[in-house]
Structure 1
Amino acid sequence: MNSSSVQRALSIKELLCELFSYSSASENATNGRVCKAWFDEALNYTWSAIEIRCLVSLLAPLKVSNGNFGLATGHASTHMHGGPRIELLPNLTSLTFTTYVPYKTVTLFGHSAVQSLAHPDTVLFVPENLEIENDPQSKLGYLSTRMPDLRALSIQYKYDEPRTVASLVQFLGPTLRDLPFLESLKIPDFWMTGTLIHHLALHPRLRCIKAFSTGRPFDLAIALPPSAVHFPSLDCLALTMSFNNATWLAQLHNTKGLTSLSLRSLRSTSLQDDWPPLLGIITSQFRSLEELSLASNHGWRTPPSAADLRAVCSLPRLRTFHLLSPYDLETDIDEASLVSIFRASPQLDHMHPPSGSLVSTN
């Protein structure tokens, strides 16, 4: 897209804002005429992605405030009139919004062409604003009925009130199974319940799962369903887990294609060396890894040994290795062992050790 087409799209958007603002003064003022003026530009590829707040600004008399907007009951008539205007955006494939009423937003703006739905910055939400208390199954079902071709779904929600989580996650799994083209999912770590994982494990196209950390202790101690194949298309996995969950990784089947693995909030739960079991599973089962990130919020009792690091770095396709800790890690790895580690990693082009030196200078 060249700069002139971008500039043209922006000026058209500004013009439409003025038109809708003018028409709001008189509801008879030709919704049809405005739609006719919009139609040709709506078909243009320059409208293939737009933030939801930009669309809302076209639906006068609603106003945008601090990046959020509200859809109150009194606005229903405005939205009904606005619906046909949204239908004039057949190329709209990406929706990103911050709102206190996600259900109303999805039902208003979601349609079959949407392939990416992102709902960020929801830390201030309270349970009732998720709008799922009444008939959560059918409301979550709007994802599949309104956006059946959804490929990417991202929901950043940090409020973990147990009743809300239970009622939402109970129906989220079946809803995601009803999205046959879903490839990427990003959700809070505490939503990764046994019920949800059972549904995700059998999803045929799911390539990327990222359970973002919410800063609280979390154990992924969940048995996978009996199956010859789990996560058949998975190539990117990011989880919050403790060293105790290393055996959970060992349950994964058909993970030879996994190219990216990120384990966050790793913490020691015993006085023993936690690294050999975890790294043994990683190096034996995930031979296609190109990116590996192991992180802790509180540090580790012991750092990985030279043998552990050599085994990881010898993965044939590994290019990026992050070992992240808030504290300095100093080991007794000697220079000769360090050289052997680097020689075992011919493909490695990016290594990020924790703060401080991995090698003792004493």
Structure 2
Amino acid sequence: MTFSQLRALQIPELLLRIFQFSEPEDNCTNACVCKTWSNEALTILWRSVMFDVVLELLGPTTRRAVGDLIFVRCPEPADWSRFDRYAWRIHHLEVSWESYHPSVFQHIASIRPRAEIFPNLETLDFDDDVGNIHLFTHAKLKSLTLQSSVNAGDCPHTKTALLHLPLQTRHLDTLNLGYLLIPEEVAHSDLASILQGLPALKTLWLPGDWLVPQIADALAWHPVLECLVSTTIHPAHATTWDVFSTSLNPHSFPSLKQLDIAVPFARAALLLSQTHRPRHLVSFTLKCYWGEESVHSYARFINVISSNYPKLESLSIHGNDAKQDPATLQPMTFIELRPITRLSGLTQLELTHPLQLKLDPRHIIEIAKALPAIEVLYLNDSPGISSVPNLTMSALVTLVSLCPKLDVLGIYVNACTPMPHVSDDATPANLSILSVGRSPITDPRPVAHFLESILPKACRLYSHMTQYDIEDRVHSRLWDLVKEMMHQTEES
């Protein structure tokens, strides 16, 4: 090794870049080489850690029979000195429920009641009693995920902890409450007040039944809020659908680009057709799993979003309700789907429905020609109710040839019919993922041979079958054989 190379390996920025691509075991070794290497290797090793690992710095711990972690003895001053040498390096911390005895947090709170124990912490994933969150939050925190696998009634200080968030984390730009069991004593007005106290918020996740008009109106003034996601509403709360707001004020949601909500199609159409709707959406996801939804309401929603958001780049419509009575279902035809072809800038389109989409080869051609920029396309590859697909594997050839940017494809096809001929000058696929979902298949050999002729070797093939359907299990095994045959050919 030359002298210049040796000098280069003393440059902290270069070492940091190299160590980012090293395995943790290698960085443990690198940390023992010299002072310069040690500092940069430890920066990588301790940047993102579990709280369990951090506690080992404070003294010996053990797991009781019930599984939670507890100190064998109380941390001493020497333990805290060792802890502080590493705590400042931590930028991302995960605290997992059922891992810690309450006394762990009590020890820390009694010794460090006001100190910022992780002074450079930027991202916190916290799944425990929210009442302890104050031990970890401070002004530098940028991203916070709160969830609670324990019953909210067993966490009496949740409301107080939430109300104090704006005081402790005013510069927070990402807040995920989507899977938090918010206790009943927290009112909608409380949460609205909390969110108004976080002016830097750019990304917000909420439980679906908490995105009520009062909270939506409070969020509408946020100057920098770009992404709003609501998790699926619990069936017990799905009767009123009093979600979002249908009377927004002018200039509401000035920066909102991504909206992901769980409402019926009719409600979504109403939200997106109101006069003061969010104007700058580029991504919209609709999750509708409960309530009987007609094809008319599905089609109405598609027409509204296609008319009002012509610059949309990503559209996901999840309407696959397995609980709906099959007798009430209507098939989705291309007549209902045609407005999507107006969204020529789409790079991602995902459609799900209980029944297969009634598409024929002409419709596939029209869709492909209308969406030249499409990169991710899921055309209901796993309908809830299986039936003989209208499309054959030739649809794959059509999409690949007309959509050169296509990277991920999910499609429901009949793989039991003869495979199409692929000419030598056919356009090669650029797919990295092909999902055939619940597509039926009888003979894996011709299918494997066809896919080898059109797919790149690195493309991954997925099938999705329900474990309760005997026919599905048969098809799943045959698709596994397709993957094995393709893999064997690659090795040979």
TM-score range, shorter chain: 0.7 to 0.9
Q: Paired residue for 1:319?
A: 347
CA drift of 1:214 comes to 4.0
Q: Paired residue for 1:282?
A: 305
* Change beyond 3 A, Cα 1:178–1:67: same
* Change beyond 3 A, Cα 1:271–1:146: closer
Question: Scaled by the length of structure 2, what TM-score is found?
Answer: 0.59
In structure 1, the residue corresponding to 2:102 is in which secondary structure?
coil
Q: Paired residue for 2:143?
A: 116
Q: Is the 8 A contact 1:177 1:203 kept in 2?
A: yes
Which structure has more relative contact order (CA 8 Å, sep 6+)? It is 1
In structure 2, the residue corresponding to 1:107 is in which secondary structure?
helix
Q: Paired residue for 1:81?
A: 111
Q: Paired residue for 2:374?
A: 348
In structure 2, the residue corresponding to 1:313 is in which secondary structure?
helix
CA drift of 1:202 comes to 1.7
CA drift of 1:249 comes to 1.9
Q: Paired residue for 1:69?
A: 100
Q: Paired residue for 2:337?
A: 309
Q: Is the 8 A contact 2:122 2:141 kept in 1?
A: yes
Question: Scaled by the length of structure 1, what TM-score is found?
Answer: 0.77
Q: Is the 8 A contact 1:243 1:269 kept in 2?
A: no
CA drift of 1:353 comes to 1.6
Matches within 5 A, 1:243-282: 243-245=265-267, 246-251=269-274, 253=276, 255-265=278-288, 269=292, 273-282=296-305
* Change beyond 3 A, Cα 1:288–1:250: same
Q: Is the 8 A contact 1:68 1:98 kept in 2?
A: no
Which amino acid counterpart does residue 20 of structure 1 have in structure 2? Answer: G
Which amino acid counterpart does residue 71 of structure 1 have in structure 2? Answer: P
Q: Paired residue for 1:188?
A: 207
Q: Paired residue for 1:62?
A: none
2:205 and 2:178 map into 1 onto residues whose CA distance is: 8
Aligned residue among 196, 204, 207 for 1:177: 196
2:153 and 2:179 map into 1 onto residues whose CA distance is: 10
Q: Is the 8 A contact 1:106 1:142 kept in 2?
A: no
Q: Is the 8 A contact 2:178 2:205 kept in 1?
A: yes
1:315 and 1:234 map into 2 onto residues whose CA distance is: 19
* Change beyond 3 A, Cα 1:75–1:290: closer
* Change beyond 3 A, Cα 1:126–1:203: same
Identity of aligned residues (%): 21
2:81 and 2:157 map into 1 onto residues whose CA distance is: 35
Indicate yes or no: 2:137 matched with 1:94: no
Q: CA RMSD in A?
A: 3.4
Q: Is the 8 A contact 2:176 2:204 kept in 1?
A: yes
Q: Is the 8 A contact 1:111 1:147 kept in 2?
A: yes
Q: Is the 8 A contact 1:273 1:302 kept in 2?
A: no
Indicate yes or no: 2:281 matched with 1:238: no
In the comparison of the two structures, how many residue pairs are matched?
A: 329
Q: Is the 8 A contact 1:266 1:294 kept in 2?
A: no
In structure 2, the residue corresponding to 1:80 is in which secondary structure?
helix
* Change beyond 3 A, Cα 1:328–1:25: closer
CA drift of 1:26 comes to 7.1
Aligned residue among 227, 238, 248 for 2:249: 227
**Over alpha carbons, which structure has the higher Rg?**
2
1:93 and 1:314 map into 2 onto residues whose CA distance is: 42
- For structure 1, the residue ranges without an aligned partner over 5 or more in a row are 54-65
In structure 1, the residue corresponding to 2:186 is in which secondary structure?
helix
Give a deviation string over 1:160-209, Cα, whole Å, max 9, x none: 8xxx4473322001110110111111121111122111111221111111
2:365 and 2:337 map into 1 onto residues whose CA distance is: 12
- For structure 2, the residue ranges without an aligned partner over 5 or more in a row are 1-15, 28-40, 62-70, 323-327, 393-413, 415-492
In structure 2, the residue corresponding to 1:50 is in which secondary structure?
strand
CA drift of 1:95 comes to 1.0
2:295 and 2:75 map into 1 onto residues whose CA distance is: 75
CA drift of 1:156 comes to 3.8
